[in-house]
Amino acid sequence: MNIQRFIVIEDDLQQAETISRALRRRYPEAQTELIETENDFYHRFDRLTPEERKLTLIISDVMLPWAYPAQDTAHALGRGASVTFRVAGVRCWQRSRSQGNMVPWVYFTVLDEASVDFDSHRDAATRYVQKSSSIKPLFDAIAELTAANRPEEPVAAVPNRPKRRRSCHWRPPQQQPDAVVLNSPATRASSRSPAGHAQLERGRDGQSSLPSCRRRRLLLELLLAWKTKTPSGPPPRQLRH
């Protein structure tokens, strides 16, 4: 769920500013609105469109005045003396649910759960957080609500690839051709004749036992050694007596 608007219902201006500042730092792309009284919330919530309510999260205190300047809540609502400002936040929650809306709601109050019957005034989209010196529990509750209302992303289908089967048949190890020892007597003897190149380069099975670059270098060395030992030029003239 991508929250675009936070509505903070708090009559303590210092606490309201602290909450709003923390929300702006954590969610800079969302708007933050401050409402101080129960009556102001009713007017503001009724002006929200159904599309706006889907993208709104409400953080509400429980003890709220009806209006400013101070006015008796029971007289303003036309009810008996049992109606008090101590549960004004719960009445705001009831007003939001009476219209069939499931707006994410967080009770953020100093009251503990035993002092107010929160169990009968909450649902899957409601969380209770008691005020403390840390703002982290409030952010944790917001994260839970936004994750619970986020639609599941479709998982990309993974193509079925055939698995490679390993062969279980035993194969005998290949015999390596005999290596050529360059300093052996046979090598030194064969270096005197170019006809011995093939014997030095190949093993007994007819396959070369040296890399191609090393083979070429050996051929050049043997050819150079053969030329240096073979006399060049015309044969010497014989003197006639």
Rounded mean pLDDT, 61-83: 66
pLDDT tens digits, residue range 43-62?
Answer: 999 898 888 888 899 999 99
What's residue 195's pLDDT?
54
The CATH fold assigned to 5-148 is Rossmann fold (3.40.50)
Q: Would you say residue 86 has pLDDT above 60?
A: yes
Work out whether the CA dihedral 10, 11, 16, 17 comes out positive or negative. Answer: positive
More confident residue, 216 or 153: 216
The pTM (predicted TM-score) of the whole model is: 0.57
Helical segments of the chain, H only: 13-26, 38-46, 50-54, 73-77, 88-98, 136-148, 185-190, 197-201, 212-229
A 10 A CB-CB count for 169 gives: 4
Largest CA distance in the chain: 159
Per domain, the residue ranges of the chain are 5-148, 185-229
